[in-house]
Amino acid sequence: MKLKPECIPCLIERAKYECDIVFNEDREKLRALKEFTAFLSEHLNLSELKPPPFFGTERERILKRRSGVKDPHGEVKRRSNEVAKKLLSEAAQFYDAASDKIEAVIRIAAVANSMEYGIKGYSYSEADFQHEFVHTLNENLEWDRQSIRSAIKNREKILYLTDNAGEIFFDVFVIRELIKMGKEVVVSPKSAPVINDATVEDFKEAGISYLEERCKIIPSGTYIGISLGEVEEEFLDVFSDDRYLVIAKGMGNYETISEFEARDEFGLKGRLIYILRAKCEPVARSMGVRRGELVAKLVA
């Protein structure tokens, strides 16, 4: 998904939000914002627009370099993880009561993607998420039930691209159930901190021993979404292996992968499912859904 006009104020507003986390002095905030806005202006090539994560990733690198803080979102991630732990029993009850187990795991995965901070126009709080969790699991889900259920049933191998911390605890629940269905799962968190995305360490914290013994971990780099220039060869080998169904969580994965999903060398048609909450208008418009909707979309 190419950068849209609405993305620019969102990127800058998020930069300000993150500056408030890592800096105490206004002068330091202004210096970081100056560097980021200069990068944004320099690389805003109208003839060859980049996806939003290209700019968001550089924003993160500028802030970490200037502040010396390795994980600026560490406290946010910790809070998200605590909220998720409290809600896992409700997710399990929802799953156990569901007649369609595949729909249940899709819903749990999509609702978990609600856990996001700092997006312009999107309101999130731990308290509201906890209070509304069960109701949210029964929200409208925009998906093609038949094609997605078939895609999951017909492939034994799954590459699962994670998104946020907190959310990762629900992903672990989903992956556990997929394994019980007989699936072989490769899970792909981030190699190191970038925004509030789940890292390998976050996955291990959420996965306990069960998943560490039953699925392989192949990190997807330290980039918002997927950068083909930064992932390791091992990741590309699995990503382009047509035996794997690819489940890509979150807007960053959608924004980046949608840029190359049609390339023949990856053969993603019919084996790539995006699962997310469409938290911003550009993503919702690009996917053909309403802003705020839970979405599961198979690339056909």
Instruction: Find the radius of gyration of the CA atoms of the chain.
Output: 18
Query: What is the residue-wise DSSP string for 235-279?
Result: HHHHHT-TTEEEEEEHHHHHHHHTTTTT-TTT--TTSEEEEEE--
Q: CATH no. for residue 46?
A: 1.10.8
Same domain, 16 and 89: no
Same domain, 134 and 57: no
Same domain, 94 and 225: yes
Q: Express each pLDDT in 81-125 by its tens digit.
A: 999 999 999 999 999 999 999 999 999 999 999 999 888 888 899
Q: In what order do the strands lie in the sheet with 244-249?
A: 141-143, 294-298, 272-277, 244-249, 157-161, 184-188, 216-217
Same domain, 237 and 147: yes
Give the model's pLDDT for residue 245: 98
Of the residues 15, 45, 67, the one at which a domain ends: 67
Give the model's pLDDT for residue 212: 66
**Structural domain span for residue 55:** 7-67
0.85 cut: is pTM over it? yes
Look at residue 1 and tell me if it is in a domain: no
The domain total for the chain is 2
Q: Express each pLDDT in 186-220 by its tens digit.
A: 999 999 999 999 999 999 888 766 676 789 999 99
